[in-house]
Amino acid sequence: MAIRRIYETPDPVLRQISKPVETFDADLRTLVEDMFETMYDAPGIGLAAVQVGEPIRLLVIDLQEPEEEGGEPARDPKVFINPEVLWHSESDVPYTEGCLSVPEQYAEVMRPDRIRARWRDVEGNQYEEEIDGLLAVCLQHEMDHLNGVLFIDHLSRLKRDMVLKKLAKWRKENNLKAA
């Protein structure tokens, strides 16, 4: 297993349209393992393959909060391959989102609160389910990544520019180069 580099905005790889996964092989399983290790290390609750520089339609999610007091965190790893939204509710709800590719920045995004999704797991088995709550928020955020979309793209120009300005300031204060 290996921790991979997470690409950050404005790296052009994040704007690529990810390609469907066609082969469910050992290389895919290794990438999934690396993505979980990278996500837990970050830490984050979701990660799309394109964020580690692999523009394929694969994402991982684990909503479990890291456990306090140093104990082993409870884990609930979920893999979504070639995910599709079959239906979404008409009603949008706000959620304050962040993104490992837009580090340390948070802003409220509106999304449908309920979706019906279809996807495959790492073995190629197909699933179809209705999803709501934080999982729906996170899955839609990750599926945006597969289409080259970041959460800041959902903001007004003014708010997006404010977030990008704060990101530049944060990088400067932490002596980080822009990606």
- Residues pairing with 93 in the sheet: 111
Interactions with Ni ion, residue window 87-106 (CB under 5 A): 99
Q: Give the dihedral sign, CA 26/27/28/32.
A: positive
Which listed residue (52, 97, 105, 120) binds ligand GNR by CB under 6 A?
Answer: 97
CA distance 172 to 14: 22
Which listed residue (47, 52, 117, 139) binds ligand GNR by CB under 6 A?
Answer: 47
Judge whether 52 and 5 are in contact, CB under 8 Å.
yes
Residue positions counted in the chain:
179
Interactions with ligand GNR, residue window 9-38 (CB under 6 A): none
Residue 98 makes contact with ligand GNR by CB under 6 A: yes
The binder of 9, among Ni ion, ligand GNR, none, by C-beta within 5 to 8 A per type, is none
**Dihedrals phi, psi of 131, to nearest 5 degrees:** -130, 135
Which listed residue (49, 52, 99, 135) binds ligand GNR by CB under 6 A?
Answer: 99
CB of residue 103 to ligand GNR, shortest distance in Å: 9
